[in-house]
Amino acid sequence: MHISEGILSLPILAGGGVTAVIGTAIGLKRIDNDHIMETALLSSAFFVASLIHIPLGPGSVHLVLNGLVGILLGWASVPAIATALFLQALLFGFGGLTVLGVNIVIMAAPAVAVSFLFGSMVRKPGKSQLLGAFLAGLGAILLSTLLLALALVGTDSSFLTTAKLLLVAQLPLMLLEGLITLFVVSFLAKVQPDLLQLTITSKS
Amino acid sequence: MISEIFATGDSLLHRADPAIKIISALLLALSIAVGSSLEIAMAGFVIGILLAIMARLSPVPLGRRLLTVNLFTLLLWITLPLTGGGENVTILGPMELSSKGIALALLITLKTNGIYLILTALPATSSVHAIGHGLERLRLPHKLILLLLTTYRYLSLIEQEYKRLRRSAALRCFKASTSLHAYRTYGYLIGMTLIRSYARSRRVHRAMLMRGFQGNFPLLALQTIRPGDLWLLAACVVVALTLAFGPVFW
């Protein structure tokens, strides 16, 4: 889900950068000192989870799990994702420095969006809990892919076919992320339900 | 295994100040990223190679990295020549290849690789720890630095935690496959990893409170900026400005 360096145009890079800075600032402001460690360790856990390759038909895909990040961390998912993406750029060369802002928006905006859309559904025990989790996982990848496609087409309209191809190629990943998010939430609901009620960010 | 493979070494660039390297890399990368001519992309690629040589990056891991970086450009080489449009269309057998599409794919490939080499030769030759300090000196919010350093600090530990869970699943005859059962197992493994990370974070937090943590984490200055660092910065600024504004004067 990363865009590499050297692909996007200046307006897109600048727009992504500014949006990412604002989002990260909001997220940071809402994490109080008692929750820095929780955010950091959950951020490392998601970094590790994103390295897992899950078999899918003849090949395998790696997880993104930004829907789950959004559900657990809310607004705090923006700085958490920003941190993880910066580390990935540095350690693995995924993404990069000038596209960091755009990549943060692509991954974190859907996380925050699904936390607002499906957060209350996932937090309430019952039948709708698992449906909410599935929709959050699927919806986050769908939104991320749309944002990615938008960034590509906004740069150059000849990317239209590439963007459409990406959208189709991500369909299996969307279903997979929905399922995995569902299973993670069902596990957490059974084993440690208070993790789903985590309030890292103050509501101020 | 998560490791900083390029961070150790004693080349000129390894010894340079991380804050300076971040700014230099950002300026160079930006000036190349926004350029739209083939000359600038070419220059960026050459600069990347020169910096990689200066940093004496070990070629095998670097080559492997470049392969992953080029997965996306490969997708572009497959799609753009067929769909790029433009007037000059070369006919190759049964296929029509757009020269505009080929030019765009080439431009992006050069830029992507050039910038990747610059980022690897400059910031990635410092440890994450040193970069955290560098970012602190660049006046980034302290909370963000704390988040970065702590996330990195626990990355390997949590990876080991996950691997332990994965191994015990393997011992119980779990085989990865495309099935609901496998996906449920992965979901439970990830859930357990999250629970353990959360429990650990509570312990870490309490341990830090006992040591007087109030949201500030004193960072010891590892390095001071030396004259050589300023020369590096100056050189990068000049090159970046030339790439960004040179074409206006030519």
Q: What ipTM is given for this predicted complex?
A: 0.92
Averaged confidence pLDDT in chain B: 86
Token representation of residue B62: 């670097």
- pLDDT recorded at residue B91: 64
Of B32, B65, B152, the CB nearest to A87: B152
B185, A64 contact by CB (below 8 A): no
> Could you tell me which residue, B217 or B64, shows the higher pLDDT?
B64
Query: Are A43 and B147 in contact, with CB atoms under 8 Å apart?
Result: yes
Give the model's confidence band at B213: pLDDT under 50 very low, under 70 low, under 90 confident, else very high. Answer: confident
Q: What is the pLDDT of residue A204?
A: 39
Average confidence (pLDDT) over B53-73: 87
Q: Mention every residue, 6+ apart, whose C-beta is less than 8 A from residue A78.
A: A20, A23, A24, A26, A27, A104, A108, A111, A112
Residue B218: pLDDT above 80? no
Residue A91: predicted pLDDT: 86
Q: What are phi and psi of A62, to 5 degrees?
A: -105, 150
CA-wise closest residue to A83 among B116, B152, B158, B125: B152
Q: Is A119 part of the contact surface with chain B (CB cutoff 8 Å)?
A: no
CA dist list (Å): A33 to A147, B216, B247: 32, 9, 49
What pLDDT shows up at residue A203?
47
How far apart are alpha carbons B241 and B249 in whole angstroms? 12
Report the distance separating Cα B13 and Cα B192, nearest Å.
41
Cβ of residue A55 closer than 8 Å to a chain B Cβ = yes
Go through the domains of chain A in sequence order and give each one's CATH number.
Answer: 10-195 (1.10.1760.20)
Report whether A72 contacts A42 (CB < 8 A): yes
pLDDT at res. A177:
95
Contacts of B44 in chain A (CB under 8 A): 6
Residues 6+ apart with CB under 8 A from A75: A26, A27, A30, A112, A115, A201
* Residue A7 confidence (pLDDT): 84
**pLDDT band, residue B87 (cuts 50/70/90):** low
- Rounded to the nearest angstrom, the minimum Cα separation between B13 and chain A is 15
A35 to chain B, closest Cα gap in Å: 8
Of all residues in chain B, the one with the smallest CA distance to A47 is B155
CB contact under 8 A, A48 and B176: no
Q: Is A18 on the interface with B (CB under 8 A)?
A: no
Residue B145: what pLDDT?
Answer: 93
Q: Which of A184-198, B182-196, B203-217, B222-236 has the lowest mean pLDDT?
A: B222-236
Of A80, A132, A75, A138, residue with least CA distance to B201: A80
Instruction: Give residue for tokens 């909410």.
Output: A132
* pLDDT, greater one: A203 or B180: B180
Radius of gyration of chain B (CA): 23
Residue B215 DSSP class: S
Asked if A163 and A152 count as a contact pair (C-beta separation under 8 A), the reply is: yes
**pLDDT by position in tens, chain A (length 204):** 678 888 888 899 999 999 999 999 999 999 988 889 999 999 999 999 988 989 888 888 889 999 999 999 999 999 999 999 999 988 887 888 899 999 999 999 999 999 999 999 999 888 899 999 999 999 999 999 999 999 999 988 878 888 888 889 899 999 999 999 999 999 999 999 989 888 766 543
Percent over 90 (pLDDT), chain B:
41
Which residues numbered 183-202 in A keep a CB inside 8 Å of some CB on B?
Answer: 183-188, 191-192, 195, 198
Do residues B17 and B123 lie in contact, with contact meaning Cβ atoms separated by under 8 Å?
Answer: no
B226–chain A nearest CA distance, Å:
24
pLDDT band at B90 (very low <50, low <70, confident <90, very high): low
AA identity, residue A2: H
> Chain B interface, mutation test: which of A26, A32, A35, A41, most B Cβ atoms within 10 Å?
A41
Query: Are A137 and A68 contacting, i.e. CB atoms less than 8 angstroms apart?
Result: yes
| CA-based nearest distance B49→chain A, Å | 16
What token pair was written down for A139? 């919806």
Residue bearing the bigger pLDDT, B78 or A141: A141
Of A24, A57, A98, Cβ closest to residue B178: A57
Tokens for B110? 């050069």
Q: Kindly list the distances between the CA atom of residue A52 and the CA atoms of A49, B173, B175, in Å, as whole numbers in the listed order.
A: 5, 18, 14
- Partners of A44 on chain B (C-beta within 8 Å) are 150-152, 154-155, 157-158, 197
Judge whether A195 and A133 are in contact, CB under 8 Å: no
Which of A:60-99 have CB within 8 Å of B?
63, 65, 72, 79-80, 82-84, 86-87, 89-94, 96-99
Query: Nearest-CA neighbor of A48 among B71, B130, B189?
Result: B189
